[in-house]
A and B are shown apart, each in its own frame.
Chain A
Amino acid sequence: MKITRFSAALVTILSVTAASCKTDLTGINVNPNSPTTAPAGSLFSQASVNAIGRYLGAGQLSGTALMAQHLAQVQYLDEDRGHIRATTIDNMYTNSYISEQEDFEKIIAQGKASSSPNIWGPAVVMQSWGYQNLTDIFGDIPYSEALKGDIPDGPLKPKYDAQKDIYYGLLASLTTASTAMKTATDAGFGSADIVFKGNSARWVKFANSLRARMAMRISKADPAKAAAELTAAFAGGLMTSNADNAILAYPGDGVFDNGWSGNFATRDDHRVSKTLLDTMSALSDPRVKVYAQPTRWDPVTNAVWANPADARAIGLQNGMDNGTVAPFFNTTSRVGAIFYPGATVYGTFGTSAGKKTPAVLMTYAEVEFLAAEAAERGLGGQSGAAAHYAAGVTASITQRGGTADEAAAYLARAGVAYVPGATGLKQIGLQKWISMFTQGGEAWAEWRRTGNPASIKMGPKAYSDVLEVPRRWPYASNEQTVNAVARAEAVARQGPDTYATRMWWDK
């Protein structure tokens, strides 16, 4: 009896086991941690933080700000001697598409599906800002076929578009976005818009200002298109005061800190460039005290300043090597203490406010400099170059905490006071370059376009293959593996994949 019962139990257990084998288990495979859709606002916040951190944070410190000679390296000197590290290139090129451009693409799709221009519009503007940064670093890049890796049969080896086509595409996208946002009524992102807090009027201004920047950038390569776009952009309405500046204010909570400040909290690899400080000091620029700290040591005695009041800002020559740079460690200026969280030793700006220092995407000052150049060159229906120039300089000084009086005094100085004509164009370039401290990428691009300031020269210990200041960065090495054919086409079109090759708008 007992045996039978046990056998029955065993057989039952076995048959239940067998029967449950074929049960569909796929329900278990639904990921409980991550959704298949996400709110557009949260995507926008994250993608914007990523993009801004890339071009204005790490990417500058190990690349563009050195090429713009805003900064110089005092140790780990590869970049300053002309070689960008593979990881830096990857962080720029590879991560740009993966970390933010794809997300902006998804937001645009969501916004278009719900007919919300205040969702897709800002995403288009941010994506365009990112693309312009990227193409200005590399030249031809994937654009029209990009960001389709999860679409069935989407191109896994997207072609590289000619830079001209990319610029045309970006200008068109910005036009569409600014036009749509101008009349849009949807709620948009609200506070999730970490640049303009959901203010679509300011997005429209930013979009048009970016159009003007792009149009001016191509004015040498494609004057007709540049002229038409400048006219349209100015007509559309640009930034009109520092309140319109496209900036990202960081919470400074130790997690999301200003990119420079985050680096300077643990690293001490940078000094302010001699090229920049010599220029500014010669003009008694009121922004010196913001940009640079006084040096620790007196370079003459090679010891702590005997009289602390004598301490002053001194720049470091770019492009030195280990042997030649060593004596300058304590005798050249660290970046202004505003970027040093909590530092009290090196200057008067040392508060945790440094971590909150905003990243600057584009300023009203730049818009005025664009207007000044347009006026001087008779483009875009602009006039009054001197007034625009003065407005630009004033806006930059006040943006950096200076006063209108300081600006006026500065503008009165010889060398600063505007001289129309070819000199004026140089002055515009110089002041724009000074104003763009912390926007190394844009400053480097403008130097390439205008040659201003002419004092930017490759340093004395440059690597032998980079004896001139780079005109672009080489492509990410992995492209030779994952997208070789497309990359080869781009190289054939654009020129050798070297630092020296000039891109379309720089020819």
Chain B
Amino acid sequence: MPNRLTRAMSAVAVALAIVAGQSSPAMAQRSTVITGRVMSEAGAPIEGASVTIPTTRFGTQSKADGSFTLIVDASVTGTQQVMARRIGFRMQQKSVTIVGGAASVDFALAAQASQLTGVTVTALGILAEKTTIGTSQQTLTGDELVRTQTPSVLSSLSGKVSGVTINQTGNIGGSSRIVIRGAGSILGENQPLFIVDGMPVSNAGFSTASAGGGRDYGTAAADINPDDIASLTVLKGPNAAALYGSRASNGAVVITTKTGRGGVEGTRFSFTSRMTTEMPSVLPDYQNKYGQGFVGEFQYVDGAGSGVNDGADESWGPKLDGRLIDQFHGKAQPWIAHPDNVKNYFQNGSTVSNNISVSTAAKGMGARLSLTKDNTKGLVPNSSLNKLSGSLAASAAVNSKLTVNGSLQYAQTNGMNRPENGYTEGNPLMSFTWFGRQVDIQSLKNKYYNTASPYGFADGSLYNWNDNYHRNPYWQQYENPAPDSRDRVTAQLSADYAFTPWLSGIVRGGSDSYRFTREERFAAGNIDRASASYNGGFTSFNERAKETNFEGILTARRTYGKFDFTVNAGGNLRKNDRFNDAFSTSGILVPGIYNLANAGITPSFSNSEAHSAVNSAYGSAIATFNRYLTVEVTGRNDWSSTLPKENASYFYPSVNGSLVVSDLFPSITRNGVLSYLKLRGGLAKVGSDAGPYQLATLYNGSSSKFGGLPLYTLANTSANAALKPEQTTSSEGGVEVSLFDERLTIDATYFLKLTRDQILPLTIAPATGFSATTINAGQISNRGIEAMITARPVRLANGFQWTTAVNYSRIRNKVDVLAPGLTTVTITGQWGTNLEAREGQPYGTLFGYGFKRDSASGEILLSDGMYQRASVKSVLGNVNPDWVGGWSNEFRFKNYALSFLLDVRQGGENFSIGNWWGTYAGVLSNTLKGREVDWNKPGLVAKGIDAATGKANTVVVTAEDFNHSQYPIAEAAIYSTAFVKLREMRLSYDVPVRYTAKLNLREMNVALVGRNLFTWTSFPNFDPENSSSALNGGQGFDMGALPTMRSFGLNFTITP
């Protein structure tokens, strides 16, 4: 034992000697002593720079004043390259001739932006040096967010941040979903907390869209104007966000807006204009050989079954060979293909976005005013979205101790006729999943109503290709107005006060409030929305929500020798208020008057309010030793109004640490390969409260009166008066490496996140009188790795430079356990297929009917040549990607910059209802198989085992019968959503000063931008990103949702 200890101690001593960078005095007889200073180009001393002779083992570090003393053994002689390096600066080498005795060399290092260094925002808005942070996070600058025109700041994160999955829809102003490190909460939205300038803001989802209908009104984060963002930091998970409390279990997105302060003194204007045009990025591949009908026959009389198969909304009709057939637009019309009849329904969208900002900066103060107007015309006819946003921010140092900040953001968003989603008549795209391939869409555009058709409909009924199931898609968009509007005001004020050089305090107060209103108006004839005997109807919905926060934090920073300490202590009072009201009637009297006074059917009303509050106290202590070893502990206690008194108070701690190994052992950087190495790790626990009003079983009234009689009914869920908070524990470890003088940096993290005690409705036997009771149960685990690799492979003397970055995230998600007697929780469902949290499976499992298979061989069993449905449902896939990644590149040469971003998603499945019905209905090109000759010739022989004979199937069936046989089988339309997208492309040009000067401009930049330019995917016919909404329940199904938009455009920025 003593021997071993002695040996260990000598090893430590040797290590320390190496750390100290000094050779033993015995060897210093004829040594050379090199002295000098390491400074920045701006003239500031650089502490902690390593000064080495890479070819030898000799090295030292600079002191606080930048000075260093490097003692070199006598064995080293001649001209040597002395290298000075410090993270955040470009390495510099200088030649020194070593002859013994004294030598001198000074360095002036150029600053270099790096992913791994610099000051960044951490939880509670505290600034910290990246080298001291023990958790994982990633920061994007405002410029990186506005490279191309995106519908929301969240969309622009796609492919750029590791550990993050972004889902978006193609609708104008559609929702975007960001999930950090996998979904943990079974029924929560799993969205991170959004913080703007220190205050939480809402990212509430307004979407009513699902694969079954509704509209996608986007999420509240879309109100944040990207032009006003100075930086955006993603705090990846509870470890980084623990101090934010209850809502941090999904991580946090921390946004700092531009204040104008700290820039060049004086007043600056900036004008940015972006013009893009949009088109669908993916459209289905339709067949153009057979028109509407069944069994090769069709003749139109009333589109409702009176003619020959004229009720058919499928394309199994006669061959499109020009024969004359009665159609909805006239008798004996040529029966010909209209290959672009779907494509022509779409119009080119356009977005014109203009931003003007003025900022003024003087010593210690600054202010910025920004106004942005976005006008968007959608892909679907008569749809638009207009947004006006303004921002005012000011910051002033009142004196040397007191700084005050204030900011105010306003956004007004007005949507018009955002198309309905999903499998509903209100979705114009739904008809294209069925449709007659011969339909001349132009004639539907020309008129909506029958006036004097040859078939005697002078009744104003719809002029349409089918009257049984579908609407004229133009009538839907032009005669059924659906306006929506949202006003959002976010305001915050803060005062920062330095009591002493080491003690400061901040108080901050703010509110985020919005009012959202949407109305859907139905014309007469909209029979599944309005009563048949009335002239239409309408629904109106209003929501007001407000969150207020009030916060105070004291911060002490002290240095004792090599130790730096930072201690924070604070408290927060949060209150959330929400008011909803809605009214509707399915029958109005006078057409076009969408007012309750015009209601023919007793309107129904509802109103509700919800209030909750959380009080919090928190603190953190950070100790840094010698700038390379940092340990942070945090603690927070929340008191929530939504939990029973005995469980209302809950505490959660976190601890994390970081070690800059390359500073601890500078020698490892000596060979010039490794320039920086940091290890970090942390543990955190975060609690999450319940929604309001879940503790008591209540009676619900009804605004509808039965012949004037009031109605009440008991709630369907039996409440649980003993709820506990949900718990998320998370551990992570990471490494940050910089190689080859920061030409290559790697930031990688492994994490494990467990979410327990989930607040769930446990489905119970309905005979109890209740459908569910609320319980705390279950555990979901997310484990994964996330990595960001940045490289500058080429940097030529002529100024050409190539920067590339790859990010990669691989998350394994599993529902480890639910509750006794509970094997699955259904999140949503469509056509008998559910999106579930199923025990032992990943969150978001698709569970439905597969093909009937031979139990021995697993081959598909056919009966009479057609598919059969399995007798029980099974797991068909899950929506979680195996991994996601992004690859960004930027090439700069002189005034030109070319950048592109590839966004990659591998794995994950979707139940494509669009493909399912499109195949059933014979409109997609894959349905031509078996009818290459005529509607029933040559027929096809499906691959599989004949259930009757047990041998390979030989029965010939028509394409129509065969494709119909896949209807009850969801498995037939489960596809991988893997894709590679050319997400962003931008070519920009900075107009040289010699021209801008003539125009009296400081800067001028022109850029060509493109978004979603190409998609490589095996997903058939539709966009693999296609989902009805990006909210929790919108995942896993595609049905008639718009593809993401492909956009091209021009950006133009001038700064006078």
Residue in A38, A96, A256, A265 whose beta carbon sits within 8 Å of that of B706 in the complex: A256
Interface check A28, CB cutoff 8 A: yes
- A25, B702: Cβ atoms closer than 8 Å: no
Given contacts A10-B507, A102-B714, A254-B531, contact A29 B642 (CB under 8 A): yes
Within 8 A of B (CB), among A8-27: 10, 13-14, 17-18, 20-27
- A82 CA / B105 CA spacing, docked (Å): 95
Closest to A192 in B: B709
- A25, B613: Cβ atoms closer than 8 Å: yes
Tell me the smallest distance from the CB of A382 to a CB of chain B, in Å: 37
- A43, B552: Cβ atoms closer than 8 Å: no
Closest to A156 in B: B764
Interface bits B603-621 vs A (CB < 8 Å: 1, else 0): 0100111011111110000
Residue in B527, B571, B702, B710 whose beta carbon sits within 8 Å of that of A21 in the complex: B571
- B699, A341: Cβ atoms closer than 8 Å: no
Within 8 A of B (CB), among A115-164: 141-142, 145-150, 154-158
Tell me the smallest distance from the CB of A101 to a CB of chain B, in Å: 7
Q: For residue B554, which residues in chain A have a CB less than 8 angstroms away from its CB?
A: 14
- A29, B711: Cβ atoms closer than 8 Å: no
Interface check B713, CB cutoff 8 A: yes
- A476, B766: Cβ atoms closer than 8 Å: yes
Given contacts A26-B641, A33-B608, A46-B711, contact A253 B773 (CB under 8 A): no
- A149 CA / B695 CA spacing, docked (Å): 15
Q: For residue A6, which residues in chain B have a CB less than 8 angstroms away from its CB?
A: 402, 497
Q: For residue A476, which residues in chain B have a CB less than 8 angstroms away from its CB?
A: 766
Segment with Cβ contacts to B, from A199-207, A372-380, A477-485 = A477-485
- A253 CA / B587 CA spacing, docked (Å): 10
Residue in B602, B700, B701, B713 whose beta carbon sits within 8 Å of that of A254 in the complex: B602
Q: For residue B707, which residues in chain A have a CB less than 8 angstroms away from its CB?
A: 194, 251, 253, 256
- B532, A31: Cβ atoms closer than 8 Å: no
Given contacts A29-B695, A31-B693, A483-B765, contact A21 B552 (CB under 8 A): no
Q: For residue B18, which residues in chain A have a CB less than 8 angstroms away from its CB?
A: none
Interface bits B492-505 vs A (CB < 8 Å: 1, else 0): 00000101000001
Tell me the smallest distance from the CB of A32 to a CB of chain B, in Å: 6
- B571, A97: Cβ atoms closer than 8 Å: no
- B505, A14: Cβ atoms closer than 8 Å: yes
- A383 CA / B552 CA spacing, docked (Å): 90
- A141 CA / B551 CA spacing, docked (Å): 57
Q: For residue A483, which residues in chain B have a CB less than 8 angstroms away from its CB?
A: 765, 767
Interface bits A29-48 vs B (CB < 8 Å: 1, else 0): 10111111111011101110
- A99 CA / B702 CA spacing, docked (Å): 14
- A13 CA / B505 CA spacing, docked (Å): 11
Interface check B272, CB cutoff 8 A: no
- B637, A31: Cβ atoms closer than 8 Å: no
Tell me the smallest distance from the CB of A495 to a CB of chain B, in Å: 20
Closest to B505 in A: A10
Count residues on chain B whose CB falls below 8 Å from chain A CBs: 86
- B601, A253: Cβ atoms closer than 8 Å: yes
- A482, B532: Cβ atoms closer than 8 Å: no
- A105 CA / B769 CA spacing, docked (Å): 9
- A21, B505: Cβ atoms closer than 8 Å: no
Q: For residue A14, which residues in chain B have a CB less than 8 angstroms away from its CB?
A: 505, 507, 552, 554, 570-571
- A255, B604: Cβ atoms closer than 8 Å: yes
Given contacts A31-B693, A98-B771, A253-B602, contact A13 B766 (CB under 8 A): no
Q: For residue B567, which residues in chain A have a CB less than 8 angstroms away from its CB?
A: none
- B770, A150: Cβ atoms closer than 8 Å: yes
Q: For residue A23, which residues in chain B have a CB less than 8 angstroms away from its CB?
A: 615, 639
Report which residue of B311, B648, B709 has the largest number of chain A beta carbons within 10 angstroms of its beta carbon.
B709
Given contacts A45-B706, A255-B601, A341-B532, contact A147 B699 (CB under 8 A): no
- A27 CA / B637 CA spacing, docked (Å): 19
- A28, B611: Cβ atoms closer than 8 Å: yes
- A41 CA / B696 CA spacing, docked (Å): 22
Tell me the smallest distance from the CB of B549 to a CB of chain A, in Å: 11
- A266, B527: Cβ atoms closer than 8 Å: yes
- B699, A156: Cβ atoms closer than 8 Å: no
Given contacts A21-B617, A478-B763, contact A256 B609 (CB under 8 A): no
- A28, B769: Cβ atoms closer than 8 Å: no
Q: For residue A99, which residues in chain B have a CB less than 8 angstroms away from its CB?
A: 713, 716
Interface check A492, CB cutoff 8 A: no
Interface check A330, CB cutoff 8 A: yes
- B699, A45: Cβ atoms closer than 8 Å: no
Interface check B55, CB cutoff 8 A: no
Interface check A7, CB cutoff 8 A: yes
- B706, A32: Cβ atoms closer than 8 Å: no
Q: For residue B528, which residues in chain A have a CB less than 8 angstroms away from its CB?
A: 266
- A14 CA / B618 CA spacing, docked (Å): 12
- A99 CA / B609 CA spacing, docked (Å): 24
Given contacts A3-B401, A43-B712, contact A150 B641 (CB under 8 A): no
Residue in A17, A33, A42 whose beta carbon sits within 8 Å of that of B573 in the complex: A17
Interface check B692, CB cutoff 8 A: yes
Interface check A271, CB cutoff 8 A: no
- B768, A147: Cβ atoms closer than 8 Å: yes
Interface check B25, CB cutoff 8 A: no
Given contacts A18-B571, A253-B602, A330-B305, contact A97 B768 (CB under 8 A): yes
- A47 CA / B700 CA spacing, docked (Å): 12
- A194, B706: Cβ atoms closer than 8 Å: yes
Interface bits B787-831 vs A (CB < 8 Å: 1, else 0): 000000000000000000000000000000000010110000000
- A46, B769: Cβ atoms closer than 8 Å: no
Within 8 A of A (CB), among B566-588: 570-573, 585-587
Closest to A43 in B: B712
Interface check B718, CB cutoff 8 A: yes
Q: For residue A158, which residues in chain B have a CB less than 8 angstroms away from its CB?
A: 765, 767-768
Residue in A10, A97, A341 whose beta carbon sits within 8 Å of that of B533 in the complex: A341
Interface check B565, CB cutoff 8 A: no
- A103, B571: Cβ atoms closer than 8 Å: no
Given contacts A45-B706, A98-B716, contact A22 B763 (CB under 8 A): no
Report which residue of B607, B617, B649, B767 has the largest number of chain A beta carbons within 10 angstroms of its beta carbon.
B767
Interface bits B631-650 vs A (CB < 8 Å: 1, else 0): 00000010111101100110
Tell me the smallest distance from the CB of A69 to a CB of chain B, in Å: 24
- A265, B532: Cβ atoms closer than 8 Å: yes
Interface check A426, CB cutoff 8 A: no
- A142, B767: Cβ atoms closer than 8 Å: yes
Q: For residue A86, which residues in chain B have a CB less than 8 angstroms away from its CB?
A: 832
- B702, A31: Cβ atoms closer than 8 Å: no
Interface check A334, CB cutoff 8 A: no
Interface check A54, CB cutoff 8 A: no
Q: For residue B672, which residues in chain A have a CB less than 8 angstroms away from its CB?
A: none
- A483 CA / B609 CA spacing, docked (Å): 36
Interface check A281, CB cutoff 8 A: no
Q: For residue B712, which residues in chain A have a CB less than 8 angstroms away from its CB?
A: 38-39, 42-43, 46
Interface check A433, CB cutoff 8 A: no
Tell me the smallest distance from the CB of A487 to a CB of chain B, in Å: 9
Closest to B399 in A: A2
Q: For residue B613, which residues in chain A have a CB less than 8 angstroms away from its CB?
A: 25, 28
Interface check B891, CB cutoff 8 A: no
Closest to B642 in A: A29
Closest to B696 in A: A36
Interface bits A309-332 vs B (CB < 8 Å: 1, else 0): 000000000000000001001100
Residue in B713, B716, B773 whose beta carbon sits within 8 Å of that of A43 in the complex: B713
- B552, A150: Cβ atoms closer than 8 Å: no
Q: For residue B527, which residues in chain A have a CB less than 8 angstroms away from its CB?
A: 265-266
A25-B613, A102-B769, A482-B821 are known; give 16 further A-B pairs, CB within 8 A.
Answer: A21-B639, A28-B641, A31-B692, A34-B700, A38-B701, A42-B709, A42-B712, A43-B712, A46-B706, A94-B771, A103-B714, A106-B714, A150-B769, A158-B767, A265-B531, A352-B533
What 10 A-B pairs come out closest when comparing CB atoms?
Answer: A149-B768, A102-B769, A254-B601, A342-B533, A142-B767, A25-B641, A38-B699, A34-B698, A38-B712, A483-B765
**Subset of 8 A-B contacts with CB under 8 Å:** A14-B505, A17-B572, A20-B573, A35-B699, A103-B713, A150-B718, A254-B534, A482-B766
